[in-house]
Amino acid sequence: MRYFIEIAYNGTPYHGWQIQPDAISVQQVLEETLSTFFRSAIKVTGAGRTDTGVHARQLYAHFDFENIPNIEETIFRLNSFLPKAIAVQSIRRVQDEAHARFDATQREYEYLISLQKDPFAEKLTHQLFQTPDIDRMNQAAEMLCDFSDFQCFSRSNTDVKTYICTITKAFWEIDGNRLRFTIAADRFLRNMVRAIVGTLLDVGFGKTTLEELQQIIESKDRSRAGASAPAHGLYLTKVSYPNTIFVKK
């Protein structure tokens, strides 16, 4: 039987989601915990990869195992096994062919910025010491929805077959001393959100005009876009799937 496990994690202690040869990752910890708990070798496939230091409020992964009779008790016991930085939110039975990565229809990220020094959010937000022009950055964010090829925001030397993504929303909002960027798309390229944030901050600080932003996107040249924003301000917040993949109780 196939299950989707929904987790949240603080990415600070981990070298991203994907298993690494010489570093600890979220995927490794989750697989080891599930294998110990179920007394069987469990492999998980995630909805996507997060980089070192990036967090997730919602990430799904699928795994195969025999019938789990009491899911609520299983969640409780798994959370007692897992380190404090990782939490299981739910486990749901899905169709046997369901795939956590390929069946995802939309992913949503948030990027959090502190506009004043906050010792309690040092590893959870990006610190700025000046406030950028939010209105100008929202104009720039709105422009993203007019394009589909985002090679200029992709990490170089990746093995992707296409740089086409459909962005459905992108906007900035201010909440007290926090600045939040929300972006949703059917898929994201490696480093794409952090590169977008860095480039939009350049717009907000007057280093890049809206006309220049359009030229950057059309150029498909990563070197022309802004520097990537730090990883610790980025959160994967939502992954969406069609209801048809879930097995009804």
Complete DSSP assignment for 160-211? -S--B--EEEEEEEEETTEEEEEEEES---TTHHHHHHHHHHHHHTTSS-HH
pLDDT at position 248 is 86
User: Where does the pLDDT of residue 239 fall: very low under 50, low under 70, confident under 90, or very high at 90 and above?
Assistant: very high
Number of folded domains in the chain?
2
Nearest to 220 by CA among 136, 171, 164: 164
Both tokens of 210, joined, read 């809206």
Query: Residues with catalytic annotation?
Result: 51
Q: With contact defined as beta carbons under 8 Å apart, do 235 and 111 qualify?
A: yes
List the alpha helices (DSSP H) in 64-133: 71-81
SS3 3: strand
Q: What is the mean pLDDT of residues 207-213?
A: 97
User: CA-to-CA distance for 104 and 178, rounded, in angstroms?
Assistant: 29
Tell whether 76 is covered by a domain.
yes
Residues 116 and 50 in one domain: no
Say which CATH number the domain at 58 has: 3.30.70.580
Question: For a pLDDT cut of 70, what percent of the chain falls above it?
Answer: 100
Secondary structure element (H or E) that encloses residue 4, with its range:
strand 2-9
Q: What is the extent of the structural domain holding 98?
A: 2-103
User: CA-to-CA distance for 70 and 193, rounded, in angstroms?
Assistant: 38
Say which CATH number the domain at 130 has: 3.30.70.660
Mean pLDDT score across all residues of the chain: 96
User: CA-to-CA distance for 235 and 115, rounded, in angstroms?
Assistant: 18
